């Protein structure tokens, strides 16, 4: 009886996740298919899951003037790599300090971090701070610095680090290790799953970001990939909705057509797809971070 029930429940679970996966995968397949279709086919017959006539035109079009694409990739990869490393290190340090029960200010500081999650100075003061006082607009720093410490990541990390027994730290102290050594030699290796998980989150934040670039970057050589993509989509949308009956004409034919847009989307999503399996090993363990453990 037990077995029969579990067979049924398993079937339901499998079915549920199959359907769910299909919902996730189909749009993506569409994007791939469109990027490999002839533009005229799309105009004539609409979208289809399998391209009516297979062509690499869109990709050729993109690679014809690859300069922008290469710049985009370089900026995105640099920002993601440096940003993730820096952010992960600082997040780990901060949350380690907060997680130490023998640190007196821990609660107050945790609240201070938490507080920024709920309230912020607002967009304009932030913009003024970065542009007028820090004067880091139009530089890599503007793309990296604002996301270095994100309270959500700190709290997530703290949840994990709190589970490391204080006794471990004490015994290391007795063996003569200093605070730095304890952190680098004992705490960090022990928290690999958390580092991987939070690291992945951080990498996503940096990779997917176009907001900072929109606000602070004017130099065309510092435009990340996502912003490039966002800009194309956004421009087309804006022009097709706001230009109505305005007394002007903007030549939209200059903009990339639909297949090219999809090809750019594929190119932009690509690298992060390869990063994911690399982290997966730690990811499952990391997901239980902060959960009650038996």
Nearer Cβ to another protein, position 143 or 161? 143
What mask, x for binding another protein by CB under 8 A, covers residues 28 to 57? -----------xx-xxx-------------
Q: Is 247 in the site for another protein (CB under 8 A)?
A: yes
How far is CA 160 from each of CA 25, 171, 190, 195, rounded to the nearest angstrom? 32, 20, 10, 10
182 phi-psi bin (left φ>0, alpha ψ -120 to 50, beta other):
alpha
Stretch that binds another protein, among 53-61, 179-187, 231-239, 269-277 (CB under 8 A): 231-239
C-alpha–C-alpha distance, residues 250 and 170, integer Å: 69
Q: Which stretch binds another protein (CB under 8 A): 2-10, 24-32, 164-172, 211-219?
A: 211-219
Per-position b or e across 22-42, b if 16+ CB within 10 A of its CB: eeeeeeeeebbbbbbbbbebb
Task: Choose, by CB under 8 A, the member of 30, 74, 159, 258 that binds another protein.
Answer: 258
Does 68 participate in binding another protein (rule CB under 8 A)? yes
135 lines the binding site for another protein (CB under 8 A) = no
Write down the least CB distance from residue 22 to another protein, Å. Answer: 23
Token pair 């279709």 is found at: 37
Q: How many residues bind another protein (CB under 8 A)?
A: 45
196 vs 260, beta carbon nearer another protein: 260
Rule CB under 8 A: is residue 109 a binding residue for another protein?
Answer: no
Helical H segments across the chain, by residue range: 2-35, 39-45, 57-64, 67-99, 106-118, 123-128, 140-144, 151-161, 166-174, 179-181, 188-190, 192-208, 211-216, 225-242, 258-287
27 makes contact with another protein (CB under 8 A):
no
Closer by beta carbon to another protein, 127 or else 183: 127
Nearer of residues 2 and 244 to another protein, judged by Cβ: 244
Closest CA to 97 of 170, 44, 154: 154
Cα→Cα distances 241→234, 255, 273, Å: 11, 16, 33
User: Where along the sequence are the contacts to another protein (CB under 8 A)?
Assistant: 39-40, 42-44, 65, 67-68, 123-124, 127-128, 131-132, 214-215, 218, 220, 230-231, 233-255, 257-258
């Amino acid at each position: 009886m037990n077995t029969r029930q579990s067979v049924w429940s398993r079937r339901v679970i499998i079915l549920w996740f199959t359907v769910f996966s299909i919902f996730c995968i189909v749009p993506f397949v569409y994007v791939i298919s469109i990027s490999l279709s002839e533009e005229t086919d799309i105009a004539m017959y609409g979208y289809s899951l399998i391209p009516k006539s297979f062509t690499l035109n869109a990709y050729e079009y993109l690679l014809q003037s690859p300069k922008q694409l290469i710049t985009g990739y370089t900026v995105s990869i640099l920002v993601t790599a440096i940003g993730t490393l820096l952010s992960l290190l600082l997040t780990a340090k901060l949350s380690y300090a907060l997680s130490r029960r023998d640190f007196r200010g821990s609660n107050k500081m945790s609240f201070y971090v938490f507080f920024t999650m709920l309230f912020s100075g607002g967009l304009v003061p932030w913009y003024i701070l970065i542009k007028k006082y820090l004067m880091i607009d139009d530089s890599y720093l503007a793309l990296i610095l604002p996301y270095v410490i994100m309270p959500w990541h700190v709290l997530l990390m703290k949840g994990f680090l709190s589970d490391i027994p204080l006794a471990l730290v004490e015994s290391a102290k007795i063996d003569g290790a200093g605070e730095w050594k304890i952190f680098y030699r004992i705490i960090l290796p022990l928290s690999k799953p958390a580092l991987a998980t939070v690291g992945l989150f951080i990498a996503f934040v940096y990779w997917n970001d176009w907001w900072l670039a929109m606000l602070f970057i004017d130099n065309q050589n510092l435009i990340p990939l996502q912003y490039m993509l966002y800009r194309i989509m956004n421009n087309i949308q804006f022009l097709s909705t706001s230009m109505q009956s305005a007394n002007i004409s903007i030549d939209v034919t200059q903009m990339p057509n639909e297949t090219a847009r999809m090809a750019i989307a594929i190119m932009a999503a690509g690298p992060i797809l390869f990063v994911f399996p690399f982290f997966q090993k730690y990811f499952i363990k990391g997901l239980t971070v902060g959960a009650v453990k038996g």
